[in-house]
Structure 1
Amino acid sequence: KIHVDNRYTQRIMTNFRRTRLLYTTVALYVVICLVPMIKALRIYNFTEPSEFGPLYPINVFAYPDRTIGIRLTNRFSCPQQPTTFALRFLDPNGALNAQNLNFTFPIINFCPINRIRIFTLPDNYLLIRYWKVIDNSSIQYAGLIVSMDGEIIDPELQLSNTLSIPNTTHPNSVATLNFAQKGILYVSIYDQLSINWTRYVWDSNRGSLTQLSHDVIKSPRNFQIDDAKCFTTIDGGFGVVYSASLTPQSVTANATFPNPVTALVFMTFMRLGENNFSSTSIIYETTYPQVRISIRSCQQNHVDHPGYVCFIRVRAAANLTAGNSAWDFWRMISFFSTGTLISTLDLANNLIFDSSGIILINYTRADSLYYGGFLMTGTNQANYSQGSIYDKDGNFIQDWGIDSLNGTIFSILNNNTIFAAVPAQNNLGDSWELYSNDISPLANSTYMNPTIVSAYPPVNESIPLALKSINVTYNIEVTPSLANISIYQRTNTGLGVVDFLRQTLPASSPNVRFNDSVVSIDVLSCTFNQQGQIYFVVIDGNFAKAKEFNEPLLGVGNGTWMFRTKTGNNNSFTDDVDVIARLSSSASAFFVALSVSERHNFLNEMLISFSETIPANISRLSIMDRFQYDGESKRAQILLKMTIRSTRDLSQMNSMQIYEDMNMLVTNKSITSLMFYNSTASLDSDYGVLRLQNLWEKYRYHFAVVICVIFVSLVIVFLAHNRYPQGKSMSLFKFILVIADFVLDGIFLFDYVEDVPRLYFPYLGIILAAMSFNFFITMFIFFREFYGNTPFHQWMKKRKTIPFVFFLLGYVDLESLNLICSKVARFKIFQAPLTSTATRWIYLGSLVSVFMEDIPQLVILVRLHALKVRRITVDVEYH
């Protein structure tokens, strides 16, 4: 026996009216949750501070992540009020979180019996159900929502209408969903004539419950409802099983049901996406007189076939007058969600010592175990709790392994571990003990799903990088259903262990193939991309259905189907890579409307998303905060430029591998965690991520041609100058620059400014205005010289075509007219006898063009930068 003596080291009072009690940390890694295959009883002792009075365990509960909760209370005689409402939480890593709830419950909740019930909620919250007193004869069921930190979120959630106190003896229960649709179902029997149910939706952000739907399930005519249990279903819905018996006033002959049925068990389901229950089905009936059936528990069936299982207890008092003996027996009922009965199994109501016939245990409770079989518990001759393990056929296997002690309260974790809280043996209330025992599997427990025979990769195996497919094999033929299969990467971070979603696929995906009993799943090449990392597969309940019965099958939970990638691969070095991604049209409009700081946050979130999803160190990723519109898209879509930096660590992914995975992720964003970020969810998956080529590599020959043209032009100018030094030889070079300027203006207009609609028409107007001005000045000079300058008139008659071309080029830029009178190399074509007035008009016109065209173009460029738009040269490599 292990004794762990814990003393409080700190106590902090907060404005949430809570008391945090921090225990001295010990190396308490509770094997309950971590090593389910070890079969050994473990006992842990916890000491409570004396200032809160004697404290004794009274309620236990467990979360899906195997965090254990224990409620402690004082034992005072009525009408004395308990002074402490103590909650203790033990997480899977062994850390103990102690909270004393600062809330005053009405004394009727403690005296004469405990009426408090505790139910787990999603996101590690609790619903504490209690009685709210209305007056001396009536109450309401109310719920208090509290966090594991002791913060009260809602002190008075109404769970029922006003009830008379005698009617509160009727059962009520809560079923909690912990799936994506998060919610609870509250079921209560008010007057034995109907079951009142209310479905609530859980808001994770506010930690609150909102009523979604409410209705009643009425009892059959001449019958009264005796008991009811609700539970969650494999497909993410709810189920209710209830029993009904003939009312004392009813006669045995009943027109509604075949004679002489006296008691029945019904089932009904609320399926995923529905807000009401289906029609009821009968799964058990009896004709024994004056019988009452209690529903002890109902759960999903963890045996080698799908469906659900309920444990019922059938009891009837002896009637000597009628000659009827007493009845008291247990029965296990297995059934499908359609209402079809699978089987029934009679169970013993006690455990008898074979040699003497002495009753060792009188059973009062039965629970299905997660790895096959079931647990029956009750009291022994000393009135202490004791339990027995049975297989699915009802054969006794072993004792439950927990010491027989007074005041034992217990529950079962989803890894087949039984845990029990009991007062310390001295019974002074100064300490309490936690017992745990791992129950040996009675069915295939490798995947915590007895219908799964095998899977690839096997559990704990090493796999190569970029594995392209996985598969799972069932023991029956299966067909696709509605839920998903997902792959996660488990990573140790500074905040602890974090599970990152790598890929998720619905059963209906074309990348999921069902072939008899085998399901094959195609995996993205970027999913298993990290060396020596742990990955695991989660199969949601209702991912597959049994083909023969059309019944949803259980899934595989978090961290069960786990394996690791191999190590030892060295990657080649690649240089920095520039890439572009495109926002969708709606996201582009949203992005443009953001403020500068909001855009900065948007882009930062995109970097974080890629860093976590690839995954890659965020220092290797950067994004340009300036953008452009995609001119090739018919819709206004923004292009964003990112840079992937290289690394000298060859054990890490190189920049090209990151680029390829980034493109794969964006192209398939709907099945990756990119969809969980607003920024990356806004990316255009059809566009993907495109690599920008190195401009020098792509255009080096173009650059060489330009340099050659410039060189040749300068050589020609030099030769022309040598031939005739008095000529204006540089006019030829200016002419070449004028033509190049015109071509670049056109490219800028149609391939750049078009990306910014608000600047396109102003820029086009500037070009047209300048050309119009040049046209009028050119025509003015031409007609003035042609009709007023005789030498020019004679020169034009001799050379009709070529001079006319130069005058047309004057429309583009007046500087072209200087070439025809430049006398370059003393060629006749360049010796137009223009008057000094004409050359002055050319000069003045060129000067005006600077103000009409060049300066406004500069303003446009400044405006583009003010809009934080930078040209991304979209020279890409397509895949």
Structure 2
Amino acid sequence: MRVRLSRLELGPPSLFFSILFITFALSLFIIPSAEAQSYDYKLTHNEPTTGLTIADATADLDGTTIVCLKKPLNKQCSVNNFYLRVILPNNTVIASTFKLPLDSFDYCFNIETTVLTNGWIYLTYMRSIGNSRFAQYVFPIAYNGSRGVPMLLADFNDTLPGHIFKSMVPEAGFLYAKQVGANGPVIWKRCTVTKDRSVVDCPDDGTFAPKDGAQIRNFGIFSTVGGGFSCVFATQTPNEYGAKIVNNKAQLELEILFLDPDANKATKPTTIYTGPPGIDKITLGDCGLSYDGYGYTCLLLVSTGRNQKLLQVIFHSTRPGASNAPLKTASKDIVGVDKIRPLFNGGYLLLYNFAKDGEILVKGAKMIDPEGKTIQTISLVKPVPMLNVYPRNNTIWYWENDSTSWSIVSHNLPNYTKYGGTYQSPNVITTTPLIDSEIATRRPTIDITYNIQVKPATGNVTIYATDGVKKYFRQSYSPISSQYCQLDKHNQTLTMDVLTSTFNQPNMTYYVVLDNGFVESMEDGEPILGISDGKWKFRTASIPHNNVYAPSETATVCLNSVGTSRFLQLSKSERSAFLSSLGISLASIIPTSPSRLSILEKFRVESDNDQKRVLLLIQVRAATSDMEMGVNSVIDDLNVLIKNKGITAVSRSPETMFLDENFGVRIEPNFWNKYKRHVLIAAAATLLTGLLYLLARRLNPEANNAAIFTLVLALFDFALDFAFVVRNGQDVRSLYLPSILILVFSIIFNTTTALYIMISENMRSYKFHLWTQSCAKSAAVFTVLAASNIEVLTVTNMSEA
């Protein structure tokens, strides 16, 4: 706001009070502006418990923010009550309280939280164990405050804590790493969590160490795309170890080691940067995946006297060598930088920290673009304990709190990625179907296009269905060992086959997950970032199933050799429970209502090549609405799911895993149930014909009474021919017209022949002539019936007799 002052023609007292008033008015604008804070979003929550301070905060990939609060007992420690606040993406706050299992409160700093799996955090804390030794634990805690089992990570004789580094592959768990002493090597443990997420297990351990003779200045650890980890050391090598000395200065280097996901030992250190002559110091900033998704970047602060510059070092995990380039960051913006953090969507975050009462606080931050130019300054009213980044929406956030409330404040950041922003995968140009699009049910393929040439790798593509509450596994496979994927001629678009049973529900949301390393660079084999849960999602059209009504049907499935052996060893009650569970599991996999599918108690055992196998009967009941799949669709989908057991949910259930994929689902028709009515009608007709024959034979034993059978069979044959043309003639459309022509031609031919025979017999045989005169109506009827089959005229011989 601009304030214009005009000259006042008043006496001195009036001028004094006018100036005083103007000065006061200006102060209302100027003084608050010094304390004003600009931000893009702020969420404030009032706490019922006063005096809480922040212990740590973190965020999940979906935007869920987890904050751990504590109540200080004094400046050195807190009571062991901790207050967990989970802020969901819709701003709902879940509050819970838990206690750390501390015997005493003489060492309560270094509380850190990490989110590995949705619904749980993994909190690390330290405690004194006597004799100047300390132990560090990891403690699983659910969002609702439920506690898991504390796990000892390490005990040591210094106060430097270790840290948890989350894997880029969620099921791979985390790496715990801690430096031994101020300049010693880094010990590590690779840990996973159990299925229920409440127990941590650390089966592998080892050491990261630089080259012999190199002294560690500082180090950093980051996760790699393939599920492994990397350790980077900034080192100096003194002269006594044979290093090249320039101007009496030690050699400064950046060394890197990789720990592959399936290895229990790190690679040997490799130099990716050697300081040029004249530099005094290199300080390692954070390292991570390059914002273009291809390779990795570390930030270095290089000091030469009073001059400082930022340097980015770019390297790959699959090939030696590295490149580096200076950033165009102004010297005034580098002074006082305590931490440098690369951003997922490009650029870097410079943090300006300071220590107060043993705690590191952030007093300000600046963002620089990929070239190093400062483009945004984040001003803080007062220092904050931490400043973090939401990768999902490219914002930074920090925590403010006072004695009665806390706030989460966020700032939007520029996005420098050219591709893959909505997928959070920088190398993805587009997909088919697109995010949030609508597709037809039973779509056979999906596509993804990359901005570089790629080749299939070991990661999986997995498709889920979701009703908004639960997710349902549909199929999963790896392209490298599968016949389900095809690359185009440019090696950039990958087409993935989808089973007909996968997108089988109308008005259902589906999403595709690509593991990191699903594909890799064709040039050097560098794994490419995948697409995480819930990003690539779309919906099937809300069109009811196009069902052809079918009554209930019974089909057969077969247990494999292992399943057969186990099933035959079960008691009767155990078999009944197994069959019930099997039916429920199959219904959920299809999916359909459990009331429509059941496994009958009756089974049979067959021998195939001297190997027993159990055959089970599945009853599929008819659909009751258009929104349910028809019987034939249920059976067809079940057959596809079982025959592709290796990539569907059939292989994941403890009951369905025993089904034989080579057998699939077979419909073995029950001919009696299907043709019972027809057989009964035919039997009744045969019995009636036999009775007529016996009656005729008794009345006139000398007549050709067997002609009764000829008449019945001839008429039955004509009825079948006519019914076939009417009912099934169009099954093969190209034969429909010929079928009609043949039927009509045979009728005309038989009619003409019958008339000719009747006329010629009248002229040749006087006895036959008398019969036709006396039985004119019967003769006419048989002549007409002869149009169906000329054999009908043989009946006239019996009648004449």
What is the TM-score normalised by the length of structure 1? 0.68
Report what 1:159 is aligned to: 153
Residue type at the aligned position of 2:312: M
Residue type at the aligned position of 1:465: T
The alignment partner of 1:636 has SS state of strand
- 1:544 counterpart = 2:542: no
The alignment partner of 2:642 has SS state of helix
Out of 58, 64, 69, the position equivalent to 1:61 is 58
Shift of residue 649, structure 1, vs aligned partner: 1.6
Whole-angstrom distance in 2 between the partners of 1:175 and 1:147:
19
Out of 602, 613, 623, the position equivalent to 1:626 is 602
Out of 656, 661, 671, the position equivalent to 1:685 is 661
Report what 1:391 is aligned to: 369
Shift of residue 706, structure 1, vs aligned partner: 6.7
- 1:233 counterpart = 2:219: no
Report what 1:184 is aligned to: 174
Segment of structure 1 superposing worse, 618-627 or 515-524: 618-627
Shift of residue 418, structure 1, vs aligned partner: 3.2
Residue type at the aligned position of 1:190: V
Out of 465, 475, 495, the position equivalent to 1:503 is 475
Report what 1:312 is aligned to: 300
Shift of residue 530, structure 1, vs aligned partner: 1.5
CA contact (8 A) 1:299 1:309 kept: yes
Q: Deviations over 1:582-620 (max 9, x none)?
A: 111110111122233433332233223222222212222
Report what 1:369 is aligned to: 343
Structure 1 residues 79, 281: CA separation in 2 closer, same or farther (over 3 Å shift)? Answer: closer
Shift of residue 40, structure 1, vs aligned partner: 7.5
Structure 1 residues 698, 334: CA separation in 2 closer, same or farther (over 3 Å shift)? Answer: farther
CA contact (8 A) 1:226 1:292 kept: no
Shift of residue 391, structure 1, vs aligned partner: 3.1
Q: Deviations over 1:235-272 (max 9, x none)?
A: 1222222222235xx44842899997622222222223
Report what 1:850 is aligned to: none
Report what 1:600 is aligned to: 576
Shift of residue 579, structure 1, vs aligned partner: 1.2
Structure 1 residues 706, 184: CA separation in 2 closer, same or farther (over 3 Å shift)? Answer: same
Shift of residue 633, structure 1, vs aligned partner: 6.4
- Which structure 1 segments of 5+ residues have no match? 1-38, 316-323, 353-358, 723-879
Shift of residue 137, structure 1, vs aligned partner: 3.0
CA contact (8 A) 2:345 2:394 kept: no
Whole-angstrom distance in 1 between the partners of 2:553 and 2:227:
45
The alignment partner of 1:653 has SS state of coil
1:366-515 matches, within 5 Å, as 366-378=340-352, 385-399=363-377, 403-424=380-401, 427=402, 429-443=403-417, 444=419, 445-492=421-468, 497-508=469-480, 509-515=482-488
Q: Deviations over 1:714-748 (max 9, x none)?
A: 999999999xxxxxxxxxxxxxxxxxxxxxxxxxx
The alignment partner of 2:128 has SS state of strand
Structure 1 residues 277, 580: CA separation in 2 closer, same or farther (over 3 Å shift)? Answer: same
Shift of residue 712, structure 1, vs aligned partner: 9.0
Residue type at the aligned position of 1:100: T
Report what 1:48 is aligned to: 47
- 1:129 counterpart = 2:124: yes
Q: Deviations over 1:659-691 (max 9, x none)?
A: 111111111111111221111111111111112
1:547-558 matches, within 5 Å, as 547-558=522-533
The alignment partner of 2:382 has SS state of coil
Segment of structure 1 superposing worse, 259-268 or 712-721: 712-721
CA contact (8 A) 1:57 1:432 kept: no
Structure 1 residues 299, 314: CA separation in 2 closer, same or farther (over 3 Å shift)? Answer: same
Q: Deviations over 1:634-660 (max 9, x none)?
A: 421111111222224223321111111
Q: Deviations over 1:381-402 (max 9, x none)?
A: x9963333333333434345x7
- Which structure 2 segments of 5+ residues have no match? 1-37, 700-801
Structure 1 residues 137, 647: CA separation in 2 closer, same or farther (over 3 Å shift)? Answer: closer
CA contact (8 A) 1:410 1:418 kept: no
Residue type at the aligned position of 1:210: D
Structure 1 residues 422, 122: CA separation in 2 closer, same or farther (over 3 Å shift)? Answer: closer
Report what 1:213 is aligned to: 204
Structure 1 residues 684, 327: CA separation in 2 closer, same or farther (over 3 Å shift)? Answer: same
The alignment partner of 1:650 has SS state of coil
Structure 1 residues 58, 211: CA separation in 2 closer, same or farther (over 3 Å shift)? Answer: closer
Residue type at the aligned position of 2:408: L
| Percent identical residues | 23
Residue type at the aligned position of 1:131: M
Whole-angstrom distance in 2 between the partners of 1:233 and 1:479:
19
Report what 1:331 is aligned to: 311
Shift of residue 107, structure 1, vs aligned partner: 4.1
Report what 2:629 is aligned to: 653
Whole-angstrom distance in 1 between the partners of 2:487 and 2:460:
14
Segment of structure 1 superposing worse, 171-180 or 706-715: 706-715
Shift of residue 226, structure 1, vs aligned partner: 2.6
1:265-344 matches, within 5 Å, as 265-287=254-276, 291-303=280-292, 305-315=293-303, 325-338=305-318, 340-344=320-324
Report what 1:795 is aligned to: none
Structure 1 residues 65, 378: CA separation in 2 closer, same or farther (over 3 Å shift)? Answer: same
Aligned residues: 650
1:75-224 matches, within 5 Å, as 75=72, 77-79=74-76, 81-82=78-79, 84-103=81-100, 105=102, 107-110=105-108, 114-122=109-117, 124-155=119-150, 157-163=151-157, 165=158, 168-169=159-160, 172-177=162-167, 179=169, 181-191=171-181, 192-205=183-196, 207-224=198-215
Shift of residue 190, structure 1, vs aligned partner: 0.6
CA contact (8 A) 1:388 1:399 kept: yes
Whole-angstrom distance in 2 between the partners of 1:457 and 1:700:
50
Whole-angstrom distance in 2 between the partners of 1:258 and 1:631:
86
Q: Deviations over 1:199-223 (max 9, x none)?
A: 2232223622223222223332332
Whole-angstrom distance in 2 between the partners of 1:256 and 1:637:
77
Residue type at the aligned position of 1:115: N
What is the TM-score normalised by the length of structure 2? 0.74
Report what 2:720 is aligned to: none
Structure 1 residues 325, 635: CA separation in 2 closer, same or farther (over 3 Å shift)? Answer: same
Residue type at the aligned position of 1:434: I
Report what 1:829 is aligned to: none
Residue type at the aligned position of 1:330: L
Residue type at the aligned position of 2:643: T
Shift of residue 421, structure 1, vs aligned partner: 4.0
CA contact (8 A) 2:80 2:99 kept: no
The alignment partner of 1:578 has SS state of strand
Whole-angstrom distance in 1 between the partners of 2:571 and 2:119:
37
Residue type at the aligned position of 2:451: N
Whole-angstrom distance in 2 between the partners of 1:630 and 1:301:
60
Structure 1 residues 238, 219: CA separation in 2 closer, same or farther (over 3 Å shift)? Answer: closer
Structure 1 residues 533, 47: CA separation in 2 closer, same or farther (over 3 Å shift)? Answer: same
1:567-586 matches, within 5 Å, as 567-569=542-544, 571=546, 572-586=548-562
Whole-angstrom distance in 2 between the partners of 1:118 and 1:143:
9
Report what 1:528 is aligned to: 503
Shift of residue 337, structure 1, vs aligned partner: 0.7
The alignment partner of 1:602 has SS state of helix
Structure 1 residues 434, 707: CA separation in 2 closer, same or farther (over 3 Å shift)? Answer: same
The alignment partner of 1:188 has SS state of strand
Whole-angstrom distance in 1 between the partners of 2:522 and 2:455:
6
CA contact (8 A) 1:465 1:531 kept: yes
Whole-angstrom distance in 2 between the partners of 1:83 and 1:197:
28
Whole-angstrom distance in 1 between the partners of 2:41 and 2:215:
45
Shift of residue 631, structure 1, vs aligned partner: 5.0
